[in-house]
């Protein structure tokens, strides 16, 4: 297993992050525990979740599954860097969501109970809250950190200027600020290269790409002649189906043909490409099975030379680099 620092922090995390969004939705608790055991055995020490994951949504189902696993002992809690998120909620009461100091406190306490732990290593804001001032947010996070309930703070789905706003506010207040940003980033979705990635690099944030396979679109969807009922359910509707129709078969056909030339499965090539991007700390792989987890880990061994990276840029051209040069002189 390869490890790197989480942004500018001193914490070491595996280059593959175990995403758990499928736990409690598509993966049963027993199977989820097996996947987590195997991930730990393979050296994966970075686990990511959120207080809204699992079904029913926004009831902490996935956190509870992880909590049951952690309660099994064997030193599991001390071996992993545990990340969760807050922002969304069921919304039955006005302060059940977003980033007010009230919800930050309540959401953290609820996550700690479900996760069966006394601290969260990385507490991430799942979305920007334009209605709450950064002074309030950072003070609330600082209180949790002083209490030992969280160690680091991160963001998710922030624009580049939101990251700058958060970091400059933290600097004024004498706080450590964000250590990472979790963004949608993959070969087929590269908008963050314009401003989010440069902002992260400028402020020393690690980038944690979510949906590294673009909702299954980059997993070899065209070359699979037969799908199981479960897999068909994931790829016949939602993001990947809509974007498959938008992209057309030509782009994906070229991609899968090039992966065949490389001799690697498309899903592994997609992860390997992300691992070659300088801003990326760890793609978030969300396996439903042990086989998918092993495939994600194997992606770390794939080396893409400049010619291969150039061919992938031809198939999936990005926005042209960082702003403003991507669209101006």
Contact 252, 243 (CB under 8 A): no
Contact 125, 97 (CB under 8 A): no
Helix (H, G, I), strand (E, B) or coil at 189: strand
For the beta sheet containing 17-19, the strands, ordered from the edge strand earlier in sequence to the opposite edge, are 206-210, 178-184, 150-156, 120-125, 81-86, 46-48, 17-19, 284-285
Catalytic, out of 3, 53, 87, 123: 53
- CA–CA dist 181, 251 (Å, integer): 29
Tokens describing residue 10: 């001193």
- CA–CA dist 150, 148 (Å, integer): 6
Residue with tokens 């979305």: 127
Sequence-separated (6 or more) residues with CB below 8 Å from residue 138: 169, 170, 173, 175, 177
| 175 given a catalytic annotation | no
Number of H helices, E strands in the chain: 13, 10
Please state whether the peptide bond connecting residue 184 to the residue before it is cis, i.e. omega within 30 degrees of 0.
no
SS (H, E, C) 296-329: HHHHHHCCCCHHHHHHHHHHCCCCCCCCCCCCCC
- CA–CA dist 249, 266 (Å, integer): 15
- CA–CA dist 294, 275 (Å, integer): 16
Q: What are phi and psi of 156, to 5 degrees?
A: -150, 135
Catalytic residues: 53
């Amino acid at each position: 297993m390869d490890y790197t620092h989480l942004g500018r922090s001193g914490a070491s995390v595996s280059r593959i992050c175990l995403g758990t969004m499928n736990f409690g939705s598509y993966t049963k608790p027993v199977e989820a525990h097996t996947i987590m055991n195997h991930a730990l055995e393979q050296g994966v020490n970075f686990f990511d979740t959120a207080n809204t994951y699992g079904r029913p949504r926004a009831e902490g189902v996935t956190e509870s599954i992880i909590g049951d696993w952690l309660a099994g002992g064997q030193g599991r809690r001390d071996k992993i860097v545990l990340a969760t998120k807050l922002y969304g909620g069921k919304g039955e009461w006005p302060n059940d969501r977003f980033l007010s100091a009230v919800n930050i406190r309540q959401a953290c306490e609820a996550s700690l109970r479900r996760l069966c732990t006394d601290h969260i290593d990385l507490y991430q804001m799942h979305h920007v809250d334009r209605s709450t001032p950064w002074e309030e947010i950072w003070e609330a996070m600082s209180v949790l950190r002083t209490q030992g309930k969280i160690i680091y703070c991160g963001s998710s789905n922030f624009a580049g200027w939101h990251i700058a706003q958060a970091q400059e506010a933290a600097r004024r207040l004498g706080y450590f600020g964000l250590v990472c940003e979790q963004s949608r980033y993959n070969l087929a979705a590269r908008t963050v290269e314009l401003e989010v990635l440069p902002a992260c690099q400028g402020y020393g944030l690690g980038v944690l790409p979510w949906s590294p396979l673009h909702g299954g679109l980059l997993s070899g969807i065209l070359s699979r002649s037969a799908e199981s009922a479960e897999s068909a359910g994931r790829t016949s509707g939602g993001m990947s189906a809509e974007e498959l129709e938008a992209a057309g078969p030509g782009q994906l056909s070229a991609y899968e043909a090039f992966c065949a030339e490389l001799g690697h499965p498309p899903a592994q090539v997609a992860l390997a490409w992300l691992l070659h991007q300088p801003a990326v700390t760890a793609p978030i792989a969300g396996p439903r099975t042990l086989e998918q987890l092993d495939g994600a880990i194997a992606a770390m061994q794939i080396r893409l030379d400049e010619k291969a990276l150039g061919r992938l840029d031809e198939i999936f051209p990005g926005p042209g680099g960082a702003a403003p040069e991507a669209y101006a002189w």
